[in-house]
Amino acid sequence: MNEHLNDVIQKKIDTIKQKKNIYELGLVTNVHDYILEVSGLENAAFFEHVVIGDKAEGYVNNIGRNTVTVVLAKRNAPVFVGDKVAATGEQFCAFYSPDSIGRIVDMFGQDVMRDQFFSNREKIPIETPPIPIMDRTSVNRPLYTGITGIDLLYPIGKGQRQLIIGDKKTGKTQIALDAIVNQRQDEVLCIYIAIGKTKKEVKEVYSELLSHGAMEYTIILAAFQDECAPVLCNTPSVGVTIAEHYMLQGMDVLVVIDDLKQHADNYREISLLSGRVPGRDAYPADIFFAHASLLEKGCQHKDGGSITILPITETKGGDITDYISTNIISITDGQIVLSAKNFEKGQKPAINYGLSVSRLGGAVQTKELKKLGSVVRRELLSYLESRAVFELANTEEMSEDLRQKMGVGSEILKRMNQYKFEARAPEEMVQLFQELVVVPE
């Protein structure tokens, strides 16, 4: 008996050593679009890679008592009830090639413009373990966007997570593109992650970056509007995993996620079709965890590299208090709020200076910029508050002191205006505002 048992164990060990292709097989019992219910996969693990012949590939999303839920990420042909499903025993992975820099790519290692796969693509995990707290250090280096309203008033540091939030067509993507173009001199690798955009919109972004020489150090990772929800949902994680790969090599990486509201909506769709219990606004209970685990990768690594994340979120009617927006605001280190009213008035960028925040603030600024920014911000916010009160008042009835302050505030706001891709260096910002305000020694 013992000899027989030893023989069985030895055969199992030999099989593992020889890496034979032995798969557990199951059967499709129910099909709902890209969601499958599969029986027979008793040893399946969460996020395990499964294959349905030449028809489709996906991953295990939920494990029940007698069945597992499989989400399809790639489909070449329709899947029917009764089709065989093979569990590979491996984690579902994405693909990446070092040749992706300067290209529009997808999570499967395909060059979208040329419609072909990279020959040197490699498997990469979609999600990686959290970066240990002991491997992180304080954020103290600035990441200049070239935008005065950000670099002077609400600065961003390398390793920071700064939300860009506002209504549709208020210039959210443009701020991110300005930031990418301004990294040309700083040797920062940029990854622009497009979620739910049309091919036309992504090509426009590509053309803008190409014309300003920014595609030399930029990867555009795209999940288009017509892609299935699993691809739209997993692409941001793939982008951050790529960023982590370069950060561990000592590089500074800027990641733009455009936008997280699309990601949340697709995450909700998968959860509802999988039969999970909905929570507030029909989002699953772990939507906060999904966004937190994605954005917490933004950090300054102790070995010198960093990941700066600029997530973009679209609002409706200027409401930044909806469920997803408040979640992301609580995760990030600050937010740049854009206003549709300011945009309509011709203020560009249309930043709402009263609602915008950078929790790091002067920690990533030079002493000169920190002092100047503090005074300019105080004068500007005071002007905006007074303007709301005295908007319809006769200026002749104001006191001389108030009239003078209103004049200074109005001039500050005017000088904050910038057209797209007209970056200002920190020295220019100092010269522009030093004559307007009194900076304490």
DSSP state at residue 32: E
pLDDT at 24: 85
Q: What are phi and psi of 73, to 5 degrees?
A: -100, -25
DSSP codes joined into one string, 363-389 = GGS-HHHHHHHHHHHHHHHHHHHHHHH
CB distance 212 to 181 below 8 Å: yes
pLDDT at 16: 44
pLDDT at 393: 60
How far is the CA of 118 from the CAs of 91, 121, 202, 272, in angstroms?
A: 21, 5, 20, 35
* Beta bridge partners of residue 35, listed in sequence order: 32, 71
pLDDT at 163: 98
CA gap 54, 59 in Å, rounded: 15
pLDDT at 115: 86
Determine whether 359 is an active site residue.
yes
Flag residues of the chain having pLDDT under 50: 16-17, 19-20
pLDDT at 22: 60
Which member of 65, 136, 184, 359 is catalytic?
A: 359
CB distance 238 to 221 below 8 Å: yes
pLDDT at 2: 60
To the question of pTM greater than 0.85 for the whole model, the response is yes
